[in-house]
Structure 1
Amino acid sequence: MTKTVQDNTINIFDNQIYDKGVRSKKLKQEYNQLTERIKDISHKIEYYRKNDDYAEATKLKRQQSDLENELVELDDKLNEEDFKVTAEEFEEFYKAYNGEMSEFKAEHQKLSEEMNNKLKEVMKVYRKMVENKNEAGRRVSREQYVKHEKLAPNATYNHYKGQIFDHEVNLDKDKHDTTPRGYAWKLEKALDAVSRDEFQKYHYGHKQW
């Protein structure tokens, strides 16, 4: 398929939003770990104060103060442009996304109609096949009666059944299933192969996702 849609959505995501998101999450993890350390020190300070060990409590208080300063620095960083996706970037992303998706939807509609037209062509061919099988079936139903009549001319159970279903008429030398179900299975198998092939192109790196 010829590529006609711009890659703005992908470029904005890869180079702006996702990159910032990864950095922000890493920083947020550090922030959470630091918060837990401060909480832990707070518990220790309370313990030493209850036991009148103010010297140790004071040391821990200084350590806690240093960690709190680090926490403030991390908090400030989280609000910096390098770590925070801006409203403008979200707007830019969705503007590109909506524009590009509208093109994909239009192309999908076009291809969907093309598929439906192909199915109509298949229906026309299949109708001819059924008509041919029905004509053959008119002969087959009579031959079935004649065969039994030849084998047992005096048998009372031999009756001419008349019309038979087209799927009861086998004209294929290789005995392929030419029923709607048979063709549906073939089509499903073929389309699954296409989907699998396209998936593997991305999965194995032949095409960039």
Structure 2
Amino acid sequence: MTAQKNPEVDLKLHYQKNLELGFVLALIIVLGTFQSLRKVTLGKHEFVTPDIKIEVEEIPPSEQIKRPPMPARPTVPIPTEDEDVPEDETIETTEIDFDNIPDPPPEPVEEDPGSYTFIPYDEPPEMIGGMAALKKHLVYPEIARKAGVEGVVHIGVLVDAQGNVAKLQVLKSSVSNVGFEEAAMKALRQVKWKPAFQRDRPIKVWISIPVKFRLQDAPS
């Protein structure tokens, strides 16, 4: 009796052998490839540098602005031993006293002042005969004498360049309404005057004259 082969069993046996054989062949191929790679040498590589042309363009010179020349420094003379150096002079300081500065000379006055105004002069006007001449023309007011009143009246007198009384003005009166003002002005009109002078020329000026009224001077 002849034994029959089982194809499935044969396939398994051949498969195992074929698998082992495939592994061996694959290993041989890998090793051969590795050995061949080790023997490969790198060839020499030549690096070619491309020719680069550099063109130089001429740039025209820029125009420079000329600055004005600096001024020359002043030369300082160097002193030498042979030079005669003058000694330092001491300048005394002058102290100015502003309180005692003389007033400028007054200008001549030509206008006619309408009211009492101080006008500068070199020489004041004067009553010819003084206060004694004024008392001769002074009359004590009757009302003031009977009331026993005394007082002082300040009269502004405008004396012209000829020595005449041009105008009278009551400046101040200690007692009013008793006739002192009228009596004083009447007496001053009758007095002769010497005019004031400015720069050796007669001028018209105002002057204040105090006129005193005392009962002892009044007629009894």
More strand by share: 2
Structure 1 and Structure 2 fold alike (TM over 0.5): no
Larger radius of gyration, structure 1 or 2?
2
More helix by share: 1
TM-score by length of 1: 0.21
TM-score by length of 2: 0.20
